[in-house]
Amino acid sequence: MRVLVTGATAPSGEALIRALLADRAIEHVLAVGLDAQPVLLPASPRLTYRACDLTRPRAAHDLLFGQGLALGIDAIVHGALHRRASDHGARVHAQNVETTRELLTASARHPTVRRFVFVGTAEVYALRAAEPTLLDEDAALEFDPGAPQWIRDRVEADLTVCAQLTASALRPIVLRCAEVIAPGAGSQLWDYLQSRVCLRPLGFDPMINVLSREDQVRAIQRALASPHVGVCNIAGAETWPLSAIVARWGRVGLPVPGPMLAPLYRLRSWTVGFEFRYDRNARRFHFGGVVDGRRAEDALGYRPTTPIAWPVASHGARLA
Amino acid sequence: MLTTGPATCASSGPAIPRTEPTGYDVFGLHLPEVERVARWSRFAFERYFRVDASGHEHVPLVGPAILVSNHSGMLPVDATMLWLDVFRRTGRVVRTIADRFVPRLPFVSTLFSRVGVVSGSRPNVRWLLEHGELVAIFPEGTTGPGKSMAQHYHLQDWRVGHVEFAIRHRVPIIPIAIIGAEESWPLLARIPHVHLFGAPYLPLPVSLVPLPVRFHIHYGAPIRFDDPPASADDPEVLARAAAITRGAVERLIAHGLIARDQGRGQ
């Protein structure tokens, strides 16, 4: 199999490329990123790196029908979405949605590409008190026009791929991944946990499922190898209450009345510059929402196994 | 259409609910919290409401089942006493299905989730039954706690969701009558236009705390529906099946009220 990976210079893209190169069934990897010289990618004769701005439709087209065709690429892993929650505007939208659409439609008429793996997020699901705690693939999506662009774009990109599920010979699959708590993954929880004191809504302690990067990479590999077409939730191995996540990160959790949290975190964002936005997380921090990964288990044979490398093993006991 | 018999199931599950390696299940159930709440509730169970029960041998020790009962009271004291009774007798944690406004309640939502209460939605209930859990559903929904004193022990709206799950997942239904709860916290009035935290109405109870009325819990013989799982989509099948469970609960209520009156007379 010859695979094109977008977002190659992001930490998750790099981890995926290393895993693909370790798999002898993968003949070649065409890594695509924005950086001119990727410093973290391994040197391998089975790896080709190409700097390309995929927000330009012509560049995406030429990549697929030029180098992609020459290398005989038969699968694409696309997860190069904009990660900063505070950014917004047409360029961000182009990266999140237009790039996905362009890659997808070009792949559908491409002579060699037969598999399209879209690495999405479970944050596309609507979290409400009335919605299920356990989110399967049929759960309601977030269509609130007041939702931040970060979420709206992801919903649109997800549905763009869904619209192509049976439209061509291409076999697309959407992976709605639980949150990977890691730097460079666009993780709001990661940023939330960078403060010594983490504020959380008073009276609520929702359950949150977290995914390790190793499991995410393994799920993508399974999706590449599987013929399954459709949407699969990718759950992590661990589900914790928010208070326990804060404690395991070695932070102090401070319950604060819910209405105060958004202004306090906005103030933090202005003064310290962190990315965490409470308005993006308010419903999750009240009602939780845990992805149901049974379809991925049945269709892809994926089962989460790798726990998160928590800085603190249990309350008060710091890992060596 | 139905048979009654021992509440053993084709698929068996654990007596103790499955929890992830974290010690919590996906809904937030935490066994140490369950044990703590059971300890704290000992006085209420043994001394205040003086709960006794009959027919508890009908509650399966393993495998999925649906407990179906009458419902009343301003707060779910009946559900709490049922939860405690089953836990103390069998060690199983009843997964009570709560109305969808419950997750909006601060503190209460967290406590409830730690002791096994789950918000009432199909994916949630499906997951519980597929994992061999003991699920409690109050088919009267919020109309139960909203009963006037004249409606005590008269079942209100009887929804069909419980029989749909029973047929689709081939699990038995254990009918239950809870006697005493309806008098313990009667409602003076309800204000329908006030929806605090999304609740369907604002209840005005007779007293600030529930009255110390003795509780009697009567468990009936399990009801098994032999209909094929696909018939769970047939409204007529569901209506017929729901009428059977309703009748079973009504008979248990009548029997329980007679037994209580006879007990008082002695």
Q: Any chain A CB within 8 A of the CB of B42?
A: no
Residue showing tokens 């998160």: A308
- What's the residue count for chain B? 266
Task: Work out the minimum CA distance from A138 to partner chain B, whole angstroms.
Answer: 9
Chain A contacts of B21, Cβ < 8 Å? Answer: 237-238, 307
Interface touch B123/A135, C-beta < 8 Å: yes
Taking the CA of residue B121 and the nearest CA in chain A, the distance in Å comes to 5
B22 and A292 in contact by Cβ < 8 A? no
**Distance (Å, whole) CA A105 – CA A167:** 10
Q: Closest Cα of chain A to B152: distance in Å? A: 29
Q: Is the pLDDT of residue A248 over 60?
A: yes
For residue A203, list chain B residues with Cβ-Cβ distance below 8 A.
105-107, 109-110
B123/A139 Cβ within 8 A: yes
Res A137: pLDDT: 95
Mean pLDDT along residues A13-21: 95
Residue A133 to chain B, least CA–CA distance (Å): 7
Q: Do B123 and A292 touch (CB under 8 A)?
A: yes
Condensed to tens digits (0 to 9), the pLDDT of residues B101-128 reads 888 889 999 999 999 999 988 999 999 9
- Taking the Cβ of residue B80 and every Cβ of chain A, the question of whether any pair is shorter than 8 Å is answered with no
Give the tens place of pLDDT for each residue, A171-226. 999 999 999 998 888 889 999 999 999 999 999 999 999 999 999 999 999 999 99
Give the CA distances from residue A70 to residues A63, A67, A110, in Å, rounded to whole numbers and listed in that order: 10, 5, 12
Asked if B121 and A132 come within 8 Å (Cβ–Cβ), the reply is yes
pLDDT, tens digit (0-9, with 9 covering 90-100), for A262-299:
899 988 888 887 788 888 898 999 988 899 999 999 99
CB contact under 8 A, A241 and B28: yes
A240 → closest Cβ in B24, B110, B122: B24
pLDDT at residue A163, as a whole number: 92
Kindly list the residues from chain B whose CB atom is less than 8 angstroms away from the CB atom of residue A207: 24, 26-28, 113
Across the interface, whether the CB atoms of A207 and B28 are under 8 A apart is answered yes
User: Which chain B residues are within 8 Å of A129, Cβ to Cβ?
Assistant: 100-104, 119, 198
User: What is the rounded distance in angstroms from the CA atom of residue A14 to the CA atom of residue A42?
Assistant: 9
Residues of chain A in Cβ contact (below 8 Å) with chain B: 129-136, 138-139, 201-207, 209, 237-241, 244, 258, 286-288, 290, 292, 307
CA distance B125 to chain A (A): 9
B96 touches chain A (CB under 8 A): no
Rounded to a whole number of angstroms, the distance between the first and last alpha carbons of chain A is 41
Q: Are B106 and A203 within 8 A, CB to CB? A: yes
Residues of chain A contacting residue B107, judged by C-beta atoms under 8 Å apart: 203
Residues with Cβ within 8 Å of A22's Cβ and at least 6 positions away in sequence, in order, are none
Parts of chain B with a pLDDT under 70 = 1-20, 144, 264-266
Residues 6+ apart with CB under 8 A from B198: A129, A130, B100, B101, B104
Residue B18: its pLDDT value, please? 58
Q: Which residue from B minimizes the CA distance to A127? A: B103
pLDDT of residue A279: 84
> Is A103:A110 a contact under the CB 8 Å cutoff?
no
ipTM here: 0.86
- A28-33/A115-121 β-pairing: unpaired
Q: Give the A:B interface size as CB pairs under 8 Å.
A: 79
Query: Distance between CA A65 and CA A59 in Å, rounded?
Result: 10
Helices (H), chain B: 31-40, 42-43, 77-90, 108-114, 122-130, 161-169, 181-184, 235-265
Of B20, B106, B121, Cβ closest to residue A238: B20
Say yes or no for a CB contact (<8 Å) between A134 and B27: yes
Q: In this predicted structure, what is the pLDDT of residue B86? A: 97
Residues B186, B192, B196: CA angle, nearest 5 degrees = 90
Among B26, B100, B109, beta carbon nearest to A134: B26
Structure token pair of residue B190: 């309800």
Q: Say if CB B81 and CB B212 are below 8 A apart.
A: no
SS3 letters across chain A: CEEEEECCCCHHHHHHHHHHHHCCCCCEEEEEECCCCCCCCCCCCCEEEEECCCCCHHHHHHHHHHHHHHHCCCEEEECCCCCCCCCCCHHHHHHHHHHHHHHHHHHHCCCCCCEEEEEEEHHHECCCCCCCCEECCCCCECCCCCCCHHHHHHHHHHHHHHCCCCCCCCEEEEEEECEECCCCCCCHHHHHCCCCEEEEECCCCCEEEEECHHHHHHHHHHHHHCCCCEEEEECCCEEEEHHHHHHHCCCEEEEECHHHHHHHHHHHHHHHCCCCCHHHHHHHHHHCCEECCHHHHHHHCCCCCCCCCCCEEECCEECC
pLDDT in tens, A146-177: 888 989 999 999 999 999 888 788 999 999 99
Q: Give CA–CA dist A109/B98, Å, rounded.
A: 50
CA–CA gap between residue A5 and residue A18 (Å, rounded): 11
CB contact under 8 A, B24 and A132: no
- Give CATH for domain A2-181+210-237+290-307: 3.40.50.720
When divided into structural domains, chain B yields a total of: 1
Task: Tell me the CB-side half-sphere exposure of residue A106, using CA atoms within 13 A.
Answer: 23
- Is B20 in contact with A205 (Cβ distance < 8 A)? no
Q: Go through A249-264 and write b for each residue having 16 or more CB atoms within 10 A of its CB, e for each that does not.
A: bebebeeeebeebeee
For residue range A53-91, what is the model confidence (pLDDT) as tens digits? Answer: 999 989 999 999 999 999 999 999 999 888 887 788 899
Residue of B nearest to A291 (CA): B26
Any chain A CB within 8 A of the CB of B32? no
| Contact between A100 and A114 (Cβ < 8 Å) | no
* Residues facing residue A314 across a β-bridge: A317
How far away is chain A from the Cα of B71, in angstroms, using its nearest Cα?
Answer: 21
Pick the closest to residue B174 from B253, B63, B61, B58 (CA basis): B58
Residue B169 lies in domain: 2-265
Question: Does the distance separating the beta carbons of A292 and B103 come in below 8 Å?
Answer: no
